[in-house]
Structures are given as C-alpha cells and as structure tokens.
Amino acid sequence: MEQEKRDATYSLKKIIQNINALATPGKTTGEIADAIVQGVYENVNCQHVFLSRYDVESETFRALSWRSSVTPMDVVLEKKFMGASYLSNQPVIVNDLSQFNHRLRPETARQGFMSLVGIPLVSGKELLGVLEAFGDEEDQFNDFDVDILTLYANQATAAIEKADLVRECGYWAAEKGLLLEAIDMDYGSIGSFLYKAGETLSSMLVVDGIAVFGLDEEVEGSPLQEVLAKGFSMADIGRLKTLFTPKYLANSDILNSSEGTRIIKQPLKTAGSTETKLLYIVPVVHKQDLYGIIVFFWKQLSKEINTTSLEALIKRITDDVSRVLGCKHLYNDIQRMSFSDSVTGLANRRLFDYVIVREMKRVEQAGGAFSLLMVDIDFFKLINDTYGHLSGDSILQQFGQVLKEVFRSNDISARYGGEEFAVILPNTDAANATMLAEQFREKLLRHKFQLGSQAVNITVSIGGTSYTKELTSQRLTAASIVKVADMALYQAKQQRNSTRFVNYG
C-alpha cells in the first residue's frame, strides 16, 4: 500500500512537472494546445480528448486541438452538449452518456462515448473554452483523473490568457504607431493615410485579402477608388466598387455613425469560381461624412483568435482613422478658405505669391523657364454699371471656370484683384505661353456668359513675360516679374482684346 502511494505521488509530481514545462517561452498557443491534449491523453484514463476555444461574439466552440478518431466541428452554444453548464463555469461529469444520446451529435453517439469529464476554461468570469475527456466505458473517470484534467485545464487557461494579452499588446502598439504616424503626415494626405491604415490592419489581422477605397465624387459611375488592394482579383475589385453605388450610399444608413464604427458581413461569390468569400466591410465615417471603405476577408480565421477582441480592435482602429480623417478634412477646408478666392474658387493672392516664388526657385535650381500671364477683363466697370455688382460677380465666377477649362492642371490660375487675373505656367517658355494666351482669348470671343436670360460676350487683354535660367544672375524678385507682365498688360489694354508679351531687360 505504501509503495502504491509513493508511486502515485511520484507520478503526480511528474505530471505536474510536465504541465509546468508547457509554459516554456517561445511556444505558440497551438503547440501548447497540442501538448496539453497529448498530456491528457497519456495521463488521464480516456480515449478521446478535445480542447476548444469559445468565441463570445458568435457563441461558438471551435476545437484548437484534439486526440480522437472523431474530427470535431464548430458547435454553437445552443447545440453544444452541456454548453449551458460550461457557460455557467460549471465542470461537467457524466458517468453514462447513453442516457443523453438524443442530445449528442449523431457521429458522436455512434462512436459509443460512455463517460465525460469537461472542465471550463475561465478567466475572471469569462468563458475562454473547455477541455473535455471522453471514455468508452461507464464510470470510467475517478477523482484523480478529474484532478489531473483540472490541472491541464488551468494550464490551458493560462496559455490562452497569455496569448490574448500578447495579441492585445501587439494591437495596442500598432494602433498607437498608426496614430503617431498620422501626426507626422502631411495634412493633405488623406489617401496616404487610408493606405497606411489598410497596411496596418492587413499586418495586424493577418488577412488573406484587403481592399481600401477612398471616396472620389469626381469619378462618374462610382464614388470609390481603390487605394490599396491585396488578395482580390481585378474582377472582385470592380464588383466591390459597384457594391456601394452613390444611390445606395444616399439611401442607406451607412453614414449613421452615432453608434460608432459598424462592421457589415456580406458574402461575395468569386467571379468565375464557386468560391464564396465572407467579406468584412467597414465604412470609415466621421460625423456622417464618408471618407472610405475597408473590405477584408480570411479564407479561414484562426481558431485561436477571440472574435470579440478582434472586432473591438477593428472598430477602434477605424474610429481612430475616421477621427484623423475628419481633422484632415477640416484642415483642408480651412486651407482652401485660406488660399482660395471666395468668388471664383481660383487661387487667391496669397497662394499666387507663394507659387511664383516657388517657381523662381525651381528655375534657379533646375533650369528651364516659367511664364506669367496677367489677364484683365475689358470694360468690366461697364458690366457692373449696366447689370449690377451681383451680375458682375456672376461674370467673375463663369470667367474663373473658363480659366480652369482652358489652362492645364499644373497651371496656377489666380484672382489677382478686382477683374485682374494671373496665370502661372510652369515649364513654359514665351512662345508656348503666347500660344496658350491666344487660345484662351479666342475661346472667350466664342463664349456666352449667362446673366439670367441674357447672354453677353466679353473680351480680355493679356500681358505676359517669362523667367528663364539666364535671368537668375540678375537676382530678380517676384515683384519684378509681375511688374514686367503688368507692363505688357498695359500695352495690350491700349488696343483691347489683344495679347502682348514683354521679356525682361
């Protein structure tokens, strides 16, 4: 008897040493789960062992590891045998499972399982999972088996808690890193920030596919333009861009951000395949302004991951991105008001002064040339006196639109003051600048400006000059360049409806 006690004590010490050894640094959660299941199989009088993780969000048990002839399936709480007991953090001991065959999965009942010990894995009051051992005979488990299974269950709980904590710390670090990067980014880089947010989520979530779309209302047919796309085919991207049409966005409550970030789950059948992806669609919304949409999927989400924690992270990151983009949008609005003329929407004098100095420095450093046109509307005082100042403002608005249409996207058109405008033409010599000026003047001759039911014609006088690398040695100022262009404009106004070009010197 004494020898049996000594053997039992030695055996218990050995088991405890093996259990403690499971916590060796460097092991993954999966490796620890496999070792726990193997330990239970070897040291508990059982024929089947299952270690499952419980996902609170989906109320589903998912097997992490098992040793059995039966391959476990995901089981929702309401169909899990003794699931209510596990949810109440109560251990389960059943000595005769045949009495419960009507509650067991058919494939499990057919295996002839007769005994069960199930130990819930509990952190605080939260159910993390369950460790279960099944036997092929009635009353197969004794108190010693239950105690050993409980020890292994405690180690499984510790491993899952540690893995969750490490994952949460990684999430936190990545989230804060993204916010710090946002502080350092150019306030105008909304697309760049969406791209970075997508890259961060892709890395953190280890997704199989991610697509990030920014809102672009200037693109006809779809407001979405991809900023980042990984793991999606071109056909899938095209379908995603049409998924959220302007009409859908207008009629849905997707812009309702009163309850924070929403996660929409929607299946998408892959083009030319029978495969269907479960998409996680996350609108980036701040105060009912939609900035973009993030879409991602997993082919198979790791069973080690807590879905509740994962979705909380996604919402947190998206809320952060939404707030940052809201601030960037506000900054851009302020910037537009600071550098735009309120009547025409063109650059104002402040922005003009900045750009002309920038262009002078570019020529000085890289060579080439830029040209400056000064444009004055002929007889504008007569328009104001005849039709009134509101009609005069309407002419200025329409005139600004014609300037945008005629000149190139990299040219800077500005309202210099009153009815006088300036156009900076980068990388443009005198000959090409004269040609552009004449094209603009001739277009105005054919253009009808609307004043209510009336249509009027206007003409302009244009003066221009160019700044070249050869002039850099004369240390000219921006005011000097404007003065020369003004001289050319004065000559043009002597004749009206004409263009004059004057070179410095």
Each domain of the chain, given as residue ranges in start order, spans 2-162, 185-338, 349-501
Q: Which one is catalytic: 419, 438, 442, 470?
A: 419
CA distances for 382 relative to 359, 377, 385, 391, angstroms = 36, 11, 5, 11
| Residues 97-119: tens digit of each pLDDT | 888 876 766 666 666 788 999 99
Q: What is the DSSP letter of 25?
A: T
132-146, 313-327, 359-373, 475-489: lowest mean pLDDT where?
A: 313-327
Q: Is there a common fold for 2-162 and 349-501?
A: no
Asked whether residue 8 carries a pLDDT value surpassing 50, the answer given is no
Q: Report the pLDDT value the prediction gives residue 258, as an integer from 0 to 100.
A: 58
- Provide the pLDDT confidence category of residue 490 given band limits of 50, 70 and 90: very high
Yes or no: say if 430 and 466 are a contact pair by the CB < 8 Å rule: yes
Q: Report the pLDDT value the prediction gives residue 468, as an integer from 0 to 100.
A: 92
205-214, 264-273, 351-360: lowest mean pLDDT where?
A: 264-273
| Residues 410-429: tens digit of each pLDDT | 899 999 988 999 999 999 99
The alpha helices in 185-343, defined as continuous H runs, are 190-205, 234-243, 246-251, 307-339
Q: Which CATH superfamily is domain 185-338 in?
A: GAF domain (3.30.450.40)
Cα 127 to Cα 117: distance, rounded to the nearest angstrom: 17
- Provide the pLDDT confidence category of residue 201 given band limits of 50, 70 and 90: confident
Mean pLDDT, residues 62-77 taken together: 89
**Higher pLDDT pick, 291 / 82:** 82
Give the residue among 427, 420, 501, 425 at the shortest CA–CA distance from 465. 501
Q: What percent of the chain has pLDDT over 70?
A: 80
Give the residue among 23, 28, 19, 31 at the shortest CA–CA distance from 167. 28
Cα 93 to Cα 91: distance, rounded to the nearest angstrom: 7
Q: Give the side-chain half-sphere CA count within 13 A for 226.
A: 17
34-48, 114-128, 239-253: lowest mean pLDDT where?
A: 239-253
**Higher pLDDT pick, 49 / 8:** 49
Yes or no: say if 314 and 206 are a contact pair by the CB < 8 Å rule: no
| Residues 267-323: tens digit of each pLDDT | 777 666 667 778 888 888 777 777 778 888 888 766 666 677 777 778 887 787 777
Q: In what order do the strands lie in the sheet with 115-123?
A: 75-76, 60-67, 48-55, 126-135, 115-123, 92-94
Q: Report the pLDDT value the prediction gives residue 93, as an integer from 0 to 100.
A: 94
Asked whether residue 362 carries a pLDDT value surpassing 50, the answer given is yes
Asked whether residue 4 carries a pLDDT value surpassing 50, the answer given is no
| Residues 374-393: tens digit of each pLDDT | 999 999 999 888 888 888 88
CA distances for 291 relative to 209, 254, 285, angstroms = 21, 12, 6
CA distances for 451 relative to 115, 206, 418, angstroms = 91, 60, 19
Asked whether residue 3 carries a pLDDT value surpassing 50, the answer given is no
* CATH code linked to domain 2-162: 3.30.450.40
Tokens in use for 431? Answer: 């000959």
pTM of the model: 0.53
Query: Which H/E stretch holds residue 39?
Result: helix 29-43
Secondary structure (DSSP) of 309-321 = HHHHHHHHHHHHH
Specify whether 419 is catalytic: yes
Work out the mean pLDDT of the chain and round it to a whole number.
81
Mean pLDDT, residues 157-185 taken together: 77
**Higher pLDDT pick, 468 / 203:** 468
Answer whether CATH 3.30.420.40 is correct for domain 349-501.
no
End-to-end C-alpha distance for the chain, whole angstroms: 118
Cα 83 to Cα 120: distance, rounded to the nearest angstrom: 10
- Provide the pLDDT confidence category of residue 488 given band limits of 50, 70 and 90: very high
Mean pLDDT, residues 81-100 taken together: 90
- Provide the pLDDT confidence category of residue 330 given band limits of 50, 70 and 90: low
Asked whether residue 368 carries a pLDDT value surpassing 70, the answer given is yes
Mean pLDDT, residues 251-261 taken together: 60
Q: Report the pLDDT value the prediction gives residue 290, as an integer from 0 to 100.
A: 76
